[in-house]
Structure formats: C-alpha cells, structure tokens
Structure 1
C-alpha cells in the first residue's frame, strides 16, 4: 500500500479529450498537447476515455497512434474501450499496430456490456446482426486470443502474388501482458484476474444488495479479491483528483463548483445497478495526499491514473497536471520531474 514508507510506484492521468463539434481540430490537438505535457512532467502514463456520439474522443486508438509519434517514453492507454462498439479482430489489428508504432508502450483497457443507448444505435452499429451480437465476456476472450496470436484464419500461405498470415498482423508479443480490464464489481474483478488481465479501478463501484455504501471499503475488497486469483497482476486506481496549489482564485472557484455539482451522487447508490461514485478530491496536494493515504482503496494500489475533470480549458489542465507531477506525486512518494 502507498504510505510514507511504501511510495506510489507509477503515476498517470486520464482525460476525455473534449472538443467543439463545429470545430473539432483544436480539441484533438489540445489532447495531444496534454499527452506531450504529461511526458515532459514525468508522468508514467496517459490514458484516453472513449466517448461515442459525444464531444469527446471517439477513437482513442487513432489519437494514440498520433501520440506515439510525438512522445518517446510515456505509456499510452485507453480507459476503457467498450467492446460492444468494436469488432475484436479489427480492434486487435489496430492495437497491435499502435503498439508497434509506440515501441511497446500501449496499455489498452477494455470493458464489456451493450453499447450505451443500445436501442437508439443498434440499427446504425449492427443493422444485420443486432439480435445475435454477444456483448458478454466471450467478446473479451475473442480479443485476447487474437492479441495473443492465436489463429484468426484457417488460411495461410500464398494466393497469387500475396502472402497471408493465419494470425493478426502485425503481431506484438508483449501486448497481451499489457491488457487491462475496467471492473466495478467484485465478480468482474475476480474474472479479470482469472483471465490474467490487469485491473483498472475507477471512481465507480457497484454496491451489493444490503451492503454499506462505503466506496473505499468496497473498492479495497474488490482489489483484494482480484489479487487472490492474480497476485502478480497490476492494479491502478483512477479517482478524480484536482490539486489547487498553484491555481488562481478563479480556477479554485471553478474546481469547487465542478465537484459540488457532482457531490449529489456521492454516498447514495445510483440506478438499478447500484452504482456508487467516489467523491472528487479538490484541495492542496498536502490535503489530497492525506485523504488518499486514509482511503482504503488507494492503500491497496501502487499505481494511480488520476482522472482530469471534464470540459475545462487547456490552462486548467496544465495547472492540474503540473501540481500533480511536482507536488502531489512527491507527497505520495513518487519523485517529481528532474528535467
């Protein structure tokens, strides 16, 4: 657990990559600039969310392909890719290609379940096969088999002047060990461990019927259950964290208002799935570090991928990332940038 004696090993961040629907170019460019900034600040990883049919990055793998050519060290991930929107074979090709371009830096996170607003998108997404699509865990297994290099075709060899491989090309041998699963329940966490996947936790957990809605305790229990079946698997925590050490008064006010608007969800399970949301952590790095060291979920991990708040201007992200790298990270035992 990360304490003063056992520091955080890896530090990353997660962004949604917002943009203006009428002029999307600047927003995508700003996302790439944030990743470049993260590398300069010494972050270990930068993750992108998926936002389909919204004004956030819809194709993180494509954006990360661009990021591979503008960075050299930082790990690049997705948190998470909802497989209901993807063909596992095509996704395996894209992931392997970007991993090769990055020199083995890709950290793909995935999840299962039907696409959001399925009843509204099914005809556009799967017009011929909607009633036959499997959105469960077998879709993950299909992807893992293909990434691992198992056969995708029964044909190999030469056809005319072209040569064909039975497995996904390019093949990136180390990618399978860098696959992550986004789980919000203990059952999903255990299943991820059984498949040999790394575990992405976030600011959302599922509350079991009759269970005390204590986010930190539930998350800690899920992580321990995962480690019981996969002791060597990596586990990352992804809370929304906003240090204000170098923030202007206007920024502090904006951050406080953002967190207050989201606090209505905290402590009360939401919807039929019983989703429980963590409180956003806003304050000085010293205050946030104290709260994290007391957080049962955080005490179970050695990696953190802190989520940036949505919809803020570039200067806010620069301030937040700089404070995380230079002040909060060191307060958690993670050395700050040296260059």
Structure 2
C-alpha cells in the first residue's frame, strides 16, 4: 500500500499554449487541483519552491489556502531551499499553515539545488560563515528550524511585557504539536539521506541524485532508501520513518494523452549538475496501462517507498492534471497493489 499524491512545479508562462499564464493563475489553479485530487481519493498535494523563477516561490500562503479548502489530503512541499530561510520566521509560518490545515502539513526542506541566479540567497540577506559552504549554511538553518519545532522555551521574557507571559522561557507562537515529525529532507546523495535519518527527518528522494555507482537510477535510489532506513534504525528513533519518491508517470488512456506523451522513449539521463557533481536523472514513464504496469513493477525505488508523488504538467490545466492523477489511481495503482 502506498500514499499517492501529486507534485507541481508551478510553472507559468505568458503563452497562448499555457493554461497558466501568470502567478495568479498558478496559485489559484494549485488550490483547485488540490481540491480535485482530494475528491479523486489522492493522498497528497505537494508543491515545488523556486526563487527568481516563473514558478511557485513563497509556499506558506498557498499551503494555508489549500488547507482551508480541503479536509483530508496531505499538503506539502518538495522542497523549500533552506539557504533562503529564516528558521525563526519559518516556524511561525509553518505552524500557522499546519494549524489551519488541522495538522496535515508534510514539509519537505533541503539544502537547495542549482538556481536561476548566482548565489540568490545573498539577496535574501544570508551568507555562509567563514569556512562554510552554502550547503553547510542550508543544513545549519535546517538544524535550527528542527530545534525550534520542539516547542521548548528559549527566549527570556520581558519583565514588563505588553501582555501577560506564561511562566518560564518563551517559545515561538503559534506552535503546532506534531509538526516536527512531519518534516522531510530532500536528499540527492546517500550521505545526506543518512544525515537526514540521524536528524529524525522523513526522506524525499526525487528524480535526480548524485551518480554514485553508475547503476540505473532506480537501483541507486533504492540503495539510498535502504541506507536511510538502516541509519534510522541505528539512531533509535521511536517512530517509523516515511519515504517518498517522485516520478513522471502518464497512463495513455485517450487520444489526448497519446498526443501529449505517446511515442516517448525515455531513459535515465546522466549529466553534470555543477562543475564537480555528476548526477543521474530518472526516466519518465508513458505507456498504455498494461505496458506501464509492467514497467513500474520493475522500479526498485518505487517498491521501497511508502509514498509516490506524481509530477504533473501544471501548464496543461486543472482538468487535464486531474485526469492524469485519476488515470494512475484507477488503472495503475490497483494492479500494482498500491491501493
């Protein structure tokens, strides 16, 4: 059994071919798609976060709006770049969104990925300390964020406050109980997956990771998941962890599907993520349902994960993306024992 949700990158472009031509279009359509996905029986609505791009950026207003419009579906990110974040302000925003959603937030965070501008986090007022890299800074922001989510007091109260204070040191408010256990780390390597396990975070493994062995992507990703679970066990955490993978999967059930995605012969891609990092990008899947079922049956990483996020082509509009999700839930998931 798997939880199945969608992951939207929230692209928009002022083009007649796009159903999402502005930021307002993307935000409003994201809410509508989450509502539709919940009605279809999907388990999660997740959104990518990118800065300096025509994509979804500041996630918490959107997460709060989706939380107010839905009642059951999990609401999350995949992922928030912690190099850009003030952990203190983020705790207030995340807790507020989680309380509005009734404790359904599943917050994916990460050290970040290649971006649209050079050192964009500097424009947000952040700079690595001497001897640190920007990745170190992102992980440090994450550690502060996790500590604050414990909800313990740390700030000395004013002896003459405007309003009465509770006894003792003060914590950030509002506080959402249980949110600490619903933080995920977006990992692109075995080492950072093991670090996430030690920190007590769930694991988000996407369609890209460091090419560490030269094996097919799904094989490397499955090994990463097993290393994560072993590290989690060694750390002695009380609860069971969760693991998600994301995939582009299209069941070709009508002529429109075939026009958009038919005939695609996709495979893993290998390239340089930056000057020193060789990365492997996982394949997409697009086929008639019977063929697709057999292809997915051989994906080792999907088999290892408890949560599958379907990346959706959001610029094709709410109705078509709801169809994409419904096709997987109806034609594929039961045959593979996911539902």
Question: Normalised by the shorter chain, which TM-score bucket?
Answer: 0.7 to 0.9
Quickly say closer, same or farther: Cα 1:55–1:213, change in 2 above 3 A: same
Are residues 50 and 90 of structure 1, via their aligned partners in 2, closer, same or farther at CA, if it must alter by over 3 Å? same
Match of 2:192 in 1: 188
Helix, strand or coil: the match of 2:308?
Answer: strand
Kept in 1, the 8 Å contact 2:81–2:138? The answer is no
Q: Deviations over 1:19-70 (max 9, x none)?
A: 3467432221111110001100111111011121212211222101001111
How far does residue 306 in structure 1 lie from its aligned partner after superposition? 1.6
2:40 matched residue in structure 1: 41
CA contact (8 A) 1:82 1:115 kept: no
Residue matched to 1:236: 244
| 2:23 and 2:55 in contact (8 A); partners too | no
Q: What pairs up with 1:143-158 in 2 under 5 angstroms?
A: 143-155=145-157
Question: What is the aligned counterpart of 1:141 among 140, 143, 148?
Answer: 143
Matches within 5 A, 1:73-152: 73-113=72-112, 116-117=115-116, 119=118, 121-126=120-125, 129-130=126-127, 132=129, 135-152=137-154
The structure whose RCO (Cα within 8 Å, separation 6+) is larger is 1
Give the number of equivalent residue pairs: 318
Deviations along 1:215-252, whole A, 9 cap, x unmatched? 1111111011001021421111111111222x3x2432
Matches for 1:163-312 after TM superposition, within 5 Å:
163=165, 166-208=170-212, 211-231=213-233, 232-245=240-253, 247=254, 249-256=255-262, 263=266, 266-271=268-273, 272-309=276-313, 311-312=315-316
Residues 1:12 and 2:5 are matched in the alignment = yes
Residues 177-231 of structure 1 deviation map (CA, whole Å, 9 limit, x = unaligned): 11101101000110111111100111111112xx224211111110110010214
Query: What's the counterpart of residue 59 of structure 1?
Result: 58
- Look up the SS of the partner of 1:108 in the other structure: strand
Q: Tell me how far 1:156 sits from its aligned partner.
A: 6.0
Structure 1 residue ranges without an equivalent (≥5): 1-7
C-alpha distance in structure 2 between counterparts of 1:327 and 1:142, whole Å: 43
The TM-score with structure 1 as length reference comes to: 0.86
How many Å separate the matches in 1 of 2:215 and 2:128? 36
Q: Give the whole-Å Cα distance in 2 for the aligned partners of 1:23 and 1:13.
A: 21
Q: CA separation of 1:95/1:156 partners in 2, compared to 1, >3 Å: closer, same or farther?
A: farther
TM-score, normalization by structure 2? 0.86
- Does the CA-based 8 Å contact 2:252-2:287 persist in structure 1? yes
> Within 1, Cα distance between the matches of 2:118 and 2:305?
38
Q: Please list the CA deviations of residues 141-191 of structure 1 after superposition, one character each: whole Å capped at 9, or x if unmatched.
A: 100011111345233675134647711211111111111011010001101
RMSD: 2.4
- Structure 2 distance, partners of 1:242, 1:320, is 6
Q: How far, CA to CA, are the matches of 1:152 and 1:116 in structure 2?
A: 34
Q: Name the CA shift for 1:157/1:188 in 2 (closer, same or farther; >3 Å).
A: farther
